Amino acid sequence: MQQVQPMLVICAKMYCGVREDRTLPELTQEATRFVYSKFSSLGLEEIREAFSMAAANYFDGVDMKAYFGTFTIAMLGDILAAFTKYRNKIVNELLDSQDKAARAEAEETAKLVKNEEARREACNEILTAIQAAQEGMPFWEHWEDIPAYYSKIALENGVISVDGEKKKGLWIEAQRLARQQVVELSNDESRFMEAKQARDILKDMMAGKEVQSLKDSAVRIYSKLLIWEFVKPKSDNNGKEV
């Protein structure tokens, strides 16, 4: 409440030309309740973006001039409803694209895993990376650069061997990194729609719910960390990379 109400006052002043001293406190209080009741899925920056886009005539049927500089809940509803419709379309297109990309990646991965020649090449590349790391010339600079499916091939072909205790520690670290990525994304206001989704995941986590997308992310990271243990830059006794 303390964040939404000032945001509405700022938007009313900046985009509608409304004078704060002529706006009843009761109106802004009811407008805030209205936002929570009807548009609770929107974040603070999305409210500001909605007013900005309305002022730039992005929405059909929403003409800021028609309100004659008067802030009303009806006007607020028109703007946020138009933005929500626009936002949902973008989000659905994004999810569609991600689904297609994920399916394409899964199909490609399946082909690589089944293809014996590709498996041999992967094993050779992993062995090369291990040797390069031992010689102080790491093949991969970061664990994120490692293909997630490499660990399955490496373990099945005996290229690497990881004991149960080490696997447990890497799984804990993978979960931590997955949560860290969500937290970082939730604070990235340059990607406000993805940030909103990340905040929703954090809310579910705080509520003790199991989030499948977070678990999937941790599994991918874990797969990469299994290989990273063998190919990361080596350190000397003082902790410096060699």
Residue pLDDT tens, the chain, 242 long: 678 888 888 888 888 777 766 666 788 889 999 998 899 888 888 898 999 998 888 888 787 775 666 788 888 999 999 999 988 888 888 888 888 888 888 888 777 667 777 788 889 999 999 999 888 888 898 999 999 999 999 999 999 999 999 999 999 999 999 989 888 888 877 777 888 888 888 888 888 788 888 888 999 999 999 999 999 877 543 444 44
Task: Give CA–CA dist 28/25, Å, rounded.
Answer: 5
The one-letter code for the residue type at 131 is Q
Domain boundaries, the chain: 4-90, 115-231
> 137 and 189 in contact (C-beta within 8 Å)?
no
Task: Give CA–CA dist 42/79, Å, rounded.
Answer: 12
pTM comes to 0.49
